Structure 1
Amino acid sequence: MLAVLFCANSSWAQAPAKPKPGTKAAAKLAAPPKPFNLAAPIPFDKDVMVGKLPNGLTYYIRKNAEPANRAELRLVVRAGSVLENDAQQGLAHFMEHMAFNGTKNFPKNELVSFLQSSGIRFGADLNAYTSFDETVYELPVPTDSANVFERSMQILEDWAHNISLDTTEINKERGVVLEEWRLGRGAQQRMRDKYFPAILNNSRYAMRLPIGKDSIIRTFKPQVLRDFYKTWYRPDLMAVVAVGDFDVKKVEAMIREKFGRIPKATTPTPRPNYTIPAHKDTKVVIVTDNEQPNTVVQLIYKRPEVKEKVLGDLRADVARDLFNAMLGNRIQELTQQADPPFLYGYSNYGGFLGNLDAFTAFAVAKEGNIQRSIRALLDENARVKQFGFTPTELARAKTELLRGAEQAYLERDKTRSSSYVGQYVGNFTDQEPVVNIGFYYDFLKSTLSGIALKDINGLVDQFIRNENRAVVLMAPEKDRAKLPSVEQVIGYIDAAGKDLTAYDDKTIDKPLLPKQPTPGPVVSETKIDKIGVTELKLKNGVRVVLKPTTFKNDQILFTGNSLGGTSLYDLPDFQSARFASTLIALGGTGEFSQIQLGKFLAGKALNVSPYISELGEGISGSAAPQDLETALQLLYSYFTQPRRDPDVVAGFLSNQKSALAAQLATPTPQKVFQDTVSVTLGNNNPRRQPLTPADLDRINLDRAVQIYNERFADAGGFTFTFVGNFDVAKIRPLLETYLGGLPATGAKENFRDLGIRAPEGQLTKTVRKGVDPKASVQLVYTGNFDWTPENAVQVDALAEVLEIKLIEKLREDESGVYGVSASGAYGRYPVPRYTFRVNFGCAPENVQKLIASVNREIAALKTNGADAKDIAKFKAETTREQEVQLKDNSFWLSYLSNQYYNGDDPLEVLRNPELLKTVTVESTKAAANKYLGNNLIQFVLLPEK
Structure 2
Amino acid sequence: MKKAFLALYFAALGIYLIPTVSAQNLASQKVVLDPNVKTGKLKNGITYYIRRNSEPKNRAEFRLAVKAGSVLETDAQQGLAHFMEHMNFNGTTNFPKNELVNFLQKTGVRFGADLNAYTGFDETVYMLPIPTDSAGLLEKGIQVLEDWAHGALLDPAEIEKERGVVLEESRMGRGAQQRMRDKFLKVILNNSRYAERLPIGKDSILKSFKPETIKAFYQDWYRPDLMAVIAVGDFDVAKVEAIITQKFSSIKPPVNAKKRTKYEIPLDGSTQVAIVTDPEYPQNLIQLIYKQPNSKEKNLLDVRNNFAQELYNAMMGQRMQELTQKPNPPFLYGGSEYGDFLGNLDSYTSIALSKDAASMKTALTALLEENARVQKFGFTQPELDRAKKDFLNSIEQYYKERDKTKSANYVQEYLNHFLHDKPFMGIEAYYAFVQKNLESVNLAEINALAKKYITDQNRAVVVMGPEQSKGALPTEADIRALLKDAGKDVTAYVDDVLDTPLLSSEPVAGKVTAEKSIEKLGVTELTLSNGVKVLLKPTEFKNDEILLKATGKGGYSLFPDERETGVFSSYLIQSGGVGPYTQTQLQKFLAGKTASAGPYISELTEGFGGSTNPKDLETTLQLIYAYFTAPRKDAELVKGILANQKAYLENMQKTLTPEKVYSDSLNAVLTSNNPKRQPLKPESVDKVNLDRAAEMYKDRFSDASDFVFTFVGAFKVDAIKPLLEKYLGSLPSTERNDDFQHPNIFPPKGKIEKTVYKGLEPKSRVTLVSSGEYEYNPENNIQIEALQEVLQIKLIEALREEESGVYGVGVSESTDKFPTGHYRFSIGFGCAPENVDKLVKRTQEEIEKIKKNGADPKDIEKFVAETQRKTELAVKTNNFWLNYLDDNTFLGDDLDEIFQQEKLLKSITVASTKAAAEKYFDDGNFIKVVLMPEKK
Tell me the SS of whatever aligns to 2:51: strand
1:567 positional shift: 1.0
Residue in structure 1 matched with residue 282 of structure 2 by the alignment: 293
Unpaired stretches in structure 1, ≥5 consecutive residues = 1-32
Q: Distance in 1 between matches of 2:641 and 2:136?
A: 57
Question: What is the CA distance between 1:483 and its match in structure 2?
Answer: 2.3
> SS state of the match for residue 715, structure 1?
coil
Which amino acid is 1:450 matched to?
A: S
* Distance apart, 1:482 and its partner CA: 2.1
Q: CA deviation at 1:679?
A: 2.4
CA distance in 2: counterparts of 1:857 and 1:437, whole angstroms: 51
CA distance, structure 1, for counterparts of residue 595 and residue 209 of structure 2: 54
- Give the one of 245, 258, 268 matched to 1:256: 245
Cα deviations across residues 214-236 of structure 1 (Å, max 9, x unaligned)? 00000000110001001101111
Give per-residue Cα distances to partners, 1:247-295, cap 9 Å, x unaligned.
Answer: 0110000100001111122211110000001112211111000011021
Q: 2:23 touches 2:301 (CA, 8 Å); kept in 1?
A: no
* Identity, % of aligned positions: 55
Distance in 1, Cα, partners of 2:504 & 2:664: 46
Q: Is the 8 A contact 2:26 2:299 kept in 1?
A: no
Distance 1:435 1:769 in 2: 53
Corresponding residue for 1:49? 38
Query: Given that residues 542 and 716 in structure 1 are in contact (C-alpha distance below 8 angstroms), is that contact kept between their aligned partners in structure 2?
Result: yes
C-alpha distance after superposition, 1:69-90 (max 9, x if no partner): 0010000011100000000000
Cα deviations across residues 315-355 of structure 1 (Å, max 9, x unaligned)? 11110000000011001000001110011110100000000
Alignment counterpart, residue 67 of structure 1, candidates 56, 60, 81: 56
1:278 maps to which residue? Answer: 267
Alpha-carbon deviations, 1:731-769, whole Å to 9, x = none? 111111111111110110111132322211111121111
Find the aligned partners of 1:271 and 1:641 in 2 and give their Cα distance: 63
Selected match of 2:560 from 532, 557, 570: 570
1:844-874 deviations in Å (ceiling 9; x for gaps): 1101110000000000111000000000000
SS in 2 for 1:105: coil
Contact 1:766 1:941 in 2 (8 A): yes
Q: 1:478 aligns with which of 465, 468, 477?
A: 468
1:90-129 per-position Cα deviation (integer Å, ceiling 9, x unaligned): 0000000000000010110100000000100000000000
Q: How does 1:115-130 map to 2 (within 5 A)?
A: 115-130=104-119
Q: SS state of the match for residue 74, structure 1?
A: strand
Shift of residue 366 of structure 1? Answer: 2.2
**Among residues 89, 93, 103, which one is paired with 1:104 in the alignment?**
93
Question: How far apart, CA to CA, are the structure 2 residues paired with 1:435 and 1:680?
Answer: 55
1:889/1:379 Cα in 2 relative to 1: closer, same or farther (>3 Å)? same
Q: Which residue pairs with 1:10 in the alignment?
A: none
Residue 645 of structure 2 aligns to a residue whose secondary structure is: helix
What's 2:222 paired with?
233
Distance change in 2, residues 1:35/1:357 (3 Å): closer
* Map of 2:610 onto structure 1: 621
User: Does structure 1 retain, via aligned residues, the 8 Å contact 2:44–2:249?
Assistant: yes
The equivalent of 2:3 in structure 1 is: none
2:417 is aligned to 427
Name the counterpart of 1:418. Answer: 408
User: Aligned pair 1:667/2:618, yes or no?
Assistant: no
Question: What is residue 394 of structure 1 aligned with on the other side?
Answer: 384
The corresponding residue for 2:309 is: 320
Contact 2:285–2:352 (CA under 8 A) maintained in structure 1: yes
How do residues 636-785 of structure 1 correspond to structure 2 at under 5 angstroms? 636-785=625-774
User: Which AA in structure 2 matches 1:918?
Assistant: S
Name the residue aligned to 1:201.
190
Return the match for 2:785 from 792, 796, 821.
796
Offset of residue 487 of structure 1:
2.1
Give the CA deviation at 1:199: 0.4
Work out whether residues 296 and 364 of structure 1, in 8 Å CA contact, stay in contact via their aligned partners in 2: yes
Question: Retained in 2: the 8 A contact 1:34–1:446?
Answer: no
Give 1:418 deviation, angstroms. Answer: 0.7
- Structure 2 distance, partners of 1:87, 1:656, is 47
The residue type equivalent to 1:443 in the other structure is F
Deviates more, 1:432-441 or 1:77-86: 432-441
Equivalent residue, structure 2, for 1:269: 258
- 1:303 corresponds to which letter in structure 2? Q
Contact 2:294–2:346 (Cα < 8 Å) also in 1: yes
1:599 CA drift (Å): 0.6
Per the TM alignment, residue 517 of structure 1 is displaced from its structure 2 partner at its CA by 1.3
- Counterpart of 1:437 in structure 2: which amino acid? I
The alignment's TM-score, normalised by the length of structure 2, stands at: 0.97
Candidates 579, 593, 601, aligned match of 1:590 = 579
What amino acid sits opposite 1:519 in the alignment?
A
Q: Give the alignment partner of residue 359 of structure 2, picking from 365, 369, 377.
A: 369
Paired with 1:755 and 1:75, the residues of 2 have a C-alpha distance of: 50
Identify the residue that residue 17 of structure 1 maps to in structure 2: none
* TM-fit CA distance, 1:831: 2.6
| Paired position in structure 2 for 1:169 | 158
Aligned-partner SS, 2:290: strand
Partner of 1:369, secondary structure, is: helix
* Residue number in structure 2 paired with 1:12: none
Deviation at 1:36, TM superposition (A): 6.5
Which of residues 899, 909, 925 is equivalent to 1:920? 909
1:380 corresponds to which of 353, 358, 370: 370
Q: Count matched residues.
A: 912
Which amino acid in 2 is paired with 1:847? V
Counterpart AA for 2:540:
T
Matched, 1:459 2:446: no
**What is residue 210 of structure 1 aligned with on the other side?**
199
Q: For 1:483 and 1:621, how far apart are their aligned partners in 2?
A: 41
Give how far 1:838 is off: 0.6
Residue of structure 2 equivalent to 1:600: 589
1:524 aligns with 2:514: yes
**More displaced, 320-329 or 431-440?**
431-440
For 1:70 and 1:609, the matched residues in 2 are separated by 35
Partner Cα distance (1:487, 1:439) in 2: 52
Q: Which deviations, in whole Å up to 9, do the C-alpha atoms of 1:172-195 show, x marking residues without a partner?
A: 000000000001000000000011
Q: 1:142 and 1:755 mapped to 2: Cα distance?
A: 43
Partner AA of 1:841 in structure 2: G
Give the drift of 1:467. Answer: 1.6
Partner of 2:18: none
Residue 542 (structure 1) aligns with: 532
| Cα separation, 2, equivalents of 1:359 and 1:279 | 17
Code of the aligned partner of 1:937:
I
> Do structure 1's residue 443 and structure 2's residue 433 form an aligned pair?
yes
Alpha-carbon distance in structure 1 between the residues aligned to 2:726 and 2:684 = 40
Structure 1 runs, 4 residues or longer, greater than 4 Å off: 33-36
Tell me how far 1:498 sits from its aligned partner: 1.8
User: Which residue pairs with 1:559 in the alignment?
Assistant: 549
Give the conservation status (yes or no) of the 8 Å contact 2:769–2:824.
Answer: yes
Offset of residue 35 of structure 1: 11
Instruction: Look up the SS of the partner of 2:63 in the other structure.
Output: strand
Counterpart of 1:885 in structure 2 is 874
Mapped to 1, the partners of 2:132 and 2:632 lie a distance apart of 52
In the aligned structure 1, how far is the partner of 2:123 from the partner of 2:608?
43
Contact 1:35–1:446 under 8 Å retained in 2: no
Superposed CA deviations along residues 694-722 of structure 1, whole A, max 9, x for unmatched, are 10110110000000000111100111111
1:495 equivalent in structure 2:
485
Moved more, 821-830 or 656-665: 821-830
1:155 CA drift (Å): 0.7
Matched, 1:940 2:917: no
Q: Match of 2:826?
A: 837
Query: How many angstroms does 1:609 deviate by?
Result: 1.6
Cα deviation for residue 34 of structure 1 reads: 13
Alpha-carbon displacement from aligned partner over 1:524-551 (angstroms, at most 9, x marks no partner):
1111111101111111111111110000
Q: Secondary structure at the match of 1:830?
A: coil
Cα gap change, 1:603 to 1:34, in 2 (>3 Å): farther
1:67, 1:136 → 2: CA distance? Answer: 22
**SS of the residue aligned with 2:238?**
helix
Partner SS, residue 579 of structure 1? helix
Look up the equivalent residue of 1:754 and give its one-letter code.
Answer: P
Aligned to 2:837: 848
CA, structure 1 residues 34+514, in 2 after alignment: closer, same or farther (shift >3 Å)?
Answer: farther
CA contact (8 A) 1:36 1:443 kept: no
Q: CA deviation at 1:372?
A: 1.0
3-state SS in 1 of match to 2:610: strand
1:39 CA displacement? 2.7
SS in 2 for 1:472: strand
